[in-house]
Amino acid sequence: MNEILVEEENTVYELDPECLRHKEEQRQLEEKRKQKKQENDNYRMQKRPEKRNQNNMWIICWLLLVICQ
CA-to-CA distance for 28 and 58, rounded, in angstroms? Answer: 46
Choose among 21, 20, 23: nearest CA to 4: 20
- pLDDT of 17 > 90? The answer is no
Q: What's the whole-number mean pLDDT along residues 4-16?
A: 75
The answer to whether residues 5 and 14 touch, using CB atoms and an 8 Å cutoff, is yes
User: CA 69 from chain center: how many Å?
Assistant: 49
More confident residue, 52 or 20: 20
29-65 per-position pLDDT tens digit: 999 999 999 888 887 777 666 666 677 888 888 888 8
| pTM (predicted TM-score) | 0.46
